[in-house]
Structure 1
């Protein structure tokens, strides 16, 4: 099956989750993140801002700010198909942006260098146990992940139903190092 067909099939599966199921599974995933050494050691964390039925990240953002972590979030630039990143000091600095995803308000843009990031929480539609993912089709994250330091850790957040045997991959696809689901932590890279 090609990426487009897999994306459609898995998005439908995810849409069948109830809000209660999403929050329960997301809490299990979030607790695994908080208990991980990579999270505790990270000073600068990039996370996507969840929307619809993705693994919920709003609480990660809020708690990390309270814990004095430097939290940065992606800003989508559709014209150039790139992600820029901006530091968030408070959740109230966000507003609805492109694709109906929360993004920093213009007056709170604080761009930072991707090389400053220690840990990235990566969204996806599907993941395989080698860390390859199917995103939403824009290639934003694959291009962005190339800009990170070699030692930056990339964690894919997914529900178990998003795990598949093998993601069809292209040369530009970048794997994550770890996948965290509600039931397991998969070390894909052997780096951790």
Structure 2
């Protein structure tokens, strides 16, 4: 990766991380409610019966409530588990499922571990991001787990990244390893950014 792109990404991530840490608890609660409403509408519109999502950290737009309600509605939700080799394993979310601290201190499910290909048959992927560009490029947090997952899928379903409203940007620094997303979900809106990924 050219150093300039690497440096731009690092600086942007640091800025976004600092902004997220400054959000009030009430702003986080409101964001979580908005994300649940937007994701509920998205899965209804797409007719989702199986999907991937993730368990948000305390500084991310909250997904826990959405996951809990999706499971209660009968949607099969796969949650990621980080591996040391840079790939993701998956576990099926269950009502009142246990959560443990994963490889990087992220909240991850406890349960039967399914391999990386378990995600190949979902209807939609909902993934975290630091920011998303209006052209569909996603800025992650630099470990490459989701880029590897998306890049390895033979037939990738729609992919929506979850960010705060202020993190939908005109332009995102990117390189050949970065994978685009179909759309973005914020607390107030869901945007389709590219009709298909491939």
Q: Same fold (TM over 0.5)?
A: yes
**2:193 is the alignment partner of 1:184:** no
Query: What SS does the corresponding residue of 2:15 show, helix, strand or coil?
Result: helix
CA-to-aligned-CA distance 1:129-179 (integer Å, 9 cap, x gap): 112111111111100112335351111111112122211111121111111
2:51 corresponds in structure 1 to 45
Q: Could you tell me whether the CA contact under 8 Å between 2:129 and 2:139 is conserved in 1?
A: yes
Q: Could you tell me whether the CA contact under 8 Å between 1:115 and 1:147 is conserved in 2?
A: no
- Stretches of structure 1 lacking an aligned partner (at least 5 in a row): none
**2:133 is the alignment partner of 1:109:** no
1:58 corresponds in structure 2 to 64
Deviates more, 1:175-184 or 1:37-46: 37-46
CA-to-aligned-CA distance 1:19-75 (integer Å, 9 cap, x gap): 210110221122011112566511111111101210111111111111111111101
Q: How far, CA to CA, are the matches of 2:178 and 2:15 in structure 1?
A: 20
1:121 Cα offset (Å): 0.9
Deviates more, 1:92-101 or 1:137-146: 92-101
CA-to-aligned-CA distance 1:108-139 (integer Å, 9 cap, x gap): 33446221111111101111111211111111
**2:173 is the alignment partner of 1:157:** no
Deviates more, 1:116-125 or 1:86-95: 86-95
RMSD over aligned Cα, in angstroms?
Answer: 2.0
Deviates more, 1:21-30 or 1:182-191: 182-191
- Stretches of structure 2 lacking an aligned partner (at least 5 in a row): 1-6
Q: How many residue pairs align between the two structures?
A: 190
Choose which of 178, 183, 192 in structure 2 pairs with 1:173.
Answer: 178
What's the TM-score once normalised by structure 1's chain length? 0.90
Q: Could you tell me whether the CA contact under 8 Å between 1:14 and 1:161 is conserved in 2?
A: no
What's the TM-score once normalised by structure 2's chain length? 0.87
Shift of the 140–38 alpha-carbon distance from structure 1 to 2, 3 Å rule, reads: farther
Choose which of 77, 86, 104 in structure 1 pairs with 2:83.
Answer: 77
Choose which of 92, 102, 105 in structure 2 pairs with 1:97.
Answer: 102
* Runs of 4+ deviating beyond 4 Å: 37-40
**2:73 is the alignment partner of 1:67:** yes
Q: How far, CA to CA, are the matches of 1:56 and 1:37 in structure 2?
A: 17
Q: How far, CA to CA, are the matches of 2:152 and 2:67 in structure 1?
A: 22
